[in-house]
Amino acid sequence: MITFDGVTKRYADGTVAVDDLSLEVPTGAITVFVGPSGCGKTTSLRMINRMIDPTEGRILLDGKDVTGVDPATLRRGIGYVIQQAGLFPHRRIVDNVATVPLLLGWDKRKARDRAMELLERVGLDPKLARRYPFQLSGGQQQRVGVARALAADPPVLLMDEPFSAVDPIVRTSLQEELLRLQAELHKTIVFVTHDIDEAVKLGDTVAVLRVGGKLAQIAEPADLLSDPADDFVREFLGRDRGIRRLGFVPAKDLALEPAPDGVTPEGHGTFNPAKDSLRAALDAALLSPDGLAVAVDDDGRVLGVVDQAVLVGAARG
């Protein structure tokens, strides 16, 4: 667990980047710091691995004040992923990934074996290992960045807008990849972004920061969408809050009715109650001319139907 205890960062010119921040980052979950530029989210992140030291307050990593730990030692135990990946251009991909293990004094062969294993784990072709960073696409470089951060198997991962510089399609696949990895690895992840959609998609907890480095609200995504603390958070969340919140409500509890004769998946919107959210079910109903969302199982067999009126009722809770 990472604890921010009354943390303030004030620069020599009087600018306050982070103002009396207190929050807890739970172990094994993704906590997202989100907010507009100038809200101190990156500063807050960098205080965890001492790239910046706080002016006041303490940051505790599993109960220990980080300012009591030698910075280099601390950093080798914390994975870090940066925007544009920050790969070393003069080192081959495999050596980039092996960086921290080698700094920790691992045997060369062991470090390389580990690097190869991680490249595969983040979905990269092992053939890329001998290449240099400039020979990879932006999305591939970012995967290498994630592999490099995971190389020494640190319990904590800091991610500073890691997916901001890639195009939307690649970004989506990187996000899914991160969620897939996290389901296996259960790291304590602090993720910084300015994109609220990314925040609610990835975060188990989302901390919204406002300009001047003050915490506006910290909550689970569904709660954030349904109960914004104030006008700033409401505005930052943007439109379609109600609809987006439904993305966090599972569709499995919907009461299905038997499908009327002639209702088939063709010509209707469909959803899978086992996997999809209420948002997907409502979307399915809106796509069907008769307002019936057709529930199907993994094999595409019809399980039943739900009427749009029922869905709206369910959405109201």
Partner 1 sequence: MDEPLVRWDWIARNWDNGGPTSVKVLLENHIVMAFVPVVAGLLIAIPLGLACARYRWLYQPTVGIMNVVYSLPSLALFSILLSVTGLTQTTVIIPLTLFSLAVLIPAVVDGMRSVPDHVRQSAVAMGFQPVSRLLRVELPIAVPVVLAGLRVAAVSSISLVSVGALIGQGGLGYLFIDGWQRQFYTPIVVGIVLVVALALVADLVIIVAQRLLTPWARRTS
Angle between helices 278-287 and 308-316 (to 10 degrees): 150
- Residue 33 C-alpha from the chain's centroid: 10
Minimal distance in Å, beta carbon 222 to partner 1? Answer: 32
Q: Identify any residues that bridge with 206 across adjacent strands, giving them in sequence order.
A: 32, 219
Indicate which single residue of 9, 76, 114, 244 sits in contact with partner 1 (rule: CB under 8 A): 76
Query: If DSSP codes are grouped into helix, strand and coil, which group holds residue 49?
Result: coil
Q: Give min distance, CB of 76 to partner 1, in A.
A: 4
Residue by residue, DSSP assigns 63-131 as: TEEGGGS-HHHHHHTEEEEETTTT--TTS-HHHHHTHHHHHTT--HHHHHHHHHHHHHHTT--GGGGGS
d(CA 116, CA 239) in angstroms, rounded, equals: 44
**Alpha carbons 157 and 27: distance in angstroms, whole number:** 11
Interaction with partner 1 in 152-181: which residues (CB under 8 A)? 158
**What is the three-class DSSP state of 48?**
helix
Residue 197 to residues 33, 102, 217: CA-CA distances in angstroms?
12, 37, 16
> Stretches 71-79, 200-208, 229-237, 293-301: which one binds partner 1 (CB under 8 A)?
71-79
Residue 248 interacts with partner 1 (CB under 8 A)?
no
Structure tokens at 235: 């505005």
What is the identity of the amino acid at 203?
Answer: G
Residue among 80, 163, 236, 271 that touches partner 1 (CB under 8 A): 80
Using CB under 8 A, pick the residue from 1, 82, 128, 170 that binds partner 1.
82
> Considering the rule CB under 8 A, would residue 89 count as an interface residue with partner 1?
yes
Q: How far is the CB of 112 from partner 1 (least distance, A)?
A: 17
User: CB-wise, 119 or 311, nearer to partner 1?
Assistant: 119
Pattern 26-65, partner 1, x by CB under 8 A: -----------------------x-x--------------
The single residue among 1, 69, 103, 259 that binds partner 1, judged by CB under 8 A, is 103
Residue 76 or 201: the one with the smaller Cβ distance to partner 1 is 76
Binding of partner 1 by 87 (CB under 8 A): yes
The number of residues in the chain equals: 317
| Integer-rounded Cα radius of gyration of the chain | 23
Would you count residue 84 as binding partner 1 (CB under 8 A)? yes
Q: Which residue has the tokens 């188990």?
A: 204
Among 10, 19, 88, 241, binds partner 1 (CB under 8 A): 88
* 75 lies in the binding site for partner 1 (CB under 8 A): yes
Region from 13-21, 83-91, 204-212, 226-234 binding partner 1, contact rule CB under 8 A? 83-91
SS3 276: coil
Return the number of the residue (50 or 210) whose C-beta is nearest partner 1.
Answer: 50
Candidates 1-9, 130-138, 209-217, 293-301: pick the segment binding partner 1 (CB under 8 A): 130-138
Dihedrals phi, psi of 34, to nearest 5 degrees = -130, 150
Give me the residues that bind partner 1 (CB under 8 A), please.
49, 51, 71-76, 78, 80, 82-91, 99-100, 103, 132-134, 145, 148, 158
